[in-house]
Amino acid sequence: MINSSLTQLGAALRTKKISSVELTQSYLDRIARMNPELNAYITLNPEISLAQARAADARLANGNADPLTGIPVAQKDIFCAKGWLTTCGSKMLHNFVSPYDAHVITQFNNAGAVNLGKTNMDEFAMGSSNETSHYGTVKNPWDVSRVPGGSSGGTAAAVAARLCAAATGTDTGGSIRQPAALCGISGLKPTYGVVSRYGMIAFASSLDQAGPMGRSAEDLALLLNTMAGFDERDSTSLQREKEDYARDLNKPLNGLRIGLPKEFFAEGLSGDVAKAVEAAIAEYRKLGAIIVDISLPNTKLSIPVYYVLAPAEASSNLSRFDGVRYGYRAPEYGDLADMYEKSRAQGFGAEVKRRIMIGTYVLSHGYYDAYYLQAQKIRRLIAQDFTDAYKQCDVIMGPTSPSTAFKLGEKGDDPVQMYLSDIYTIAVNLAGLPGMSIPCGFGANDMPVGLQIIGNYFDEARMLNVAHQYQLATDWHGRAPQL
């Protein structure tokens, strides 16, 4: 059953070929065997998971099941879940048990899905390799000496290793798409505002977006159907009519205009990744698509812009972790100011401290206009590049990451090289556009390569159609690591 799609699992549950309790227990057993090496999960609570599975079985017996009822789904540990330890991969929240559910968690609970556990992640979602987690590095299931990507690396590794049926992630600068590419799975970042951020621990509020991660585009459509929806508790949540993201999956691609940005195929892209992506583009030609050369001239500025804006927002968002109300508090201190300083010094890791310092600097008097304000202006230009491009094409394609998964520790001493691994994904977040990554082959050392598909605003259904038609014609998404 572990290689079944969500549709197949749902059918098996409804026809009583397997119960949700049996399915959940099989995943828990597999996690018990494999997680000690992969470190994909931070928290498991079999008692809660099996209780949800029993409730799902009762719902299935009553005949009022949703498509995800009874299906075990892993949740990135950035989502607050009532009664669950919610750490955000940090020492700062090592003892925080959430008293409420994030909107995303509520949506899955309402659908009758089973929460299988909380997946590992870079501390406060700050990282591209899942090496900054307080709970240890996650290993890539295809090669445990390599990174799974980040910050949703635990989720990507869990899906790739079949330690869950599907899972959730979050994407601030590529943190769904990049680990999806490096682990050979499918992942989608929706248009900003489509999925509520309520109860999702904030990193950079104008960039963060939750999204689904699974084996295939078809699975992502079912997951997004559950996750999306207006939430009045989130001021950035968009009030739109509910839509079925699976509605266009089977449409042919004849006449589809695919834009290839020249900036995505320039210096810095490794040859093995380029070869796999070019082969995928050739497959799309066979499916009837038309290839259009386009330009996104401000792409090169996306990383400097991102690493001004994201740390600025992080320095503000992380100010709430002060040792007073919840989370880590230094065991010894003098006065209140000393408690603040020691709690934050001891509770935050090196990468988080680096970004807080950068963010505080660019927001400080005398530097705000020179850095933060300029970055906001360039952000507008980056978004305009995409607007102009969509006058010539329907979707944009290119590599998700400039290379396949690199070795653990390889880039830990060079933050700039680490940041460059998100060169093709960050602009999508700055513009608020939807983007996804799907497997399109293997590169050096037999590691997965991801194809990135970028859509216009609210064009998730078309993107999923484009991805699904490719997956019907190829089997890259069906490959799994030998564990």
Residue range 364-377: average pLDDT? 94
Give me the catalytic one of 5, 90, 152, 175: 175
Per-residue confidence (pLDDT) for residue 416, from 0 to 100? 75
Provide the pLDDT confidence category of residue 421 given band limits of 50, 70 and 90.
Answer: confident
Per-residue confidence (pLDDT) for residue 2, from 0 to 100? 86
Write down the H helix ranges in 287-396.
302-317, 336-347, 350-363, 374-389
Give me the catalytic one of 19, 49, 76, 90: 76
Q: Chain-wide mean pLDDT for the chain? A: 96
Residue range 307-321: average pLDDT? 96
One-letter identity of residue 326: Y
Query: Is 39 within 8 Å of 138 (Cβ atoms)?
Result: yes
Per-residue pLDDT tens over the stretch 67-90: 999 999 999 999 999 999 999 999
Per-residue pLDDT tens over the stretch 315-354: 999 999 999 988 899 999 999 999 999 999 999 999 999 9
Q: What is the DSSP string of 29-68?
A: HHHHHHHHHH--EEE--HHHHHHHHHHHHHHHHHT---TT
**Does residue 103 carry a pLDDT above 80?**
yes
Q: What is the DSSP string of 152-175?
A: THHHHHHHHTTSSSEEEEEESSST
What is the pTM (predicted TM-score) of this model?
A: 0.96
Provide the pLDDT confidence category of residue 417 given band limits of 50, 70 and 90.
Answer: confident
Active site residue 175: yes
Distances (CA, A) of 321 to 307, 333, 364, 450, 479: 21, 16, 20, 36, 42
Q: Are strands 114-119 and 41-43 parallel, antiparallel or unpaired?
A: antiparallel
Per-residue confidence (pLDDT) for residue 420, from 0 to 100? 82
Active site residue 189: no
Per-residue confidence (pLDDT) for residue 1, from 0 to 100? 83
State what percent of residues in the chain have pLDDT above 90: 95
458 phi-psi bin (left φ>0, alpha ψ -120 to 50, beta other) = left
Give me the catalytic one of 151, 152, 343, 401: 151
Distances (CA, A) of 317 to 81, 104, 225, 310, 375: 20, 20, 29, 10, 19
Active site residue 17: no
Per-residue pLDDT tens over the stretch 158-192: 999 999 999 999 999 999 999 999 999 999 999 99
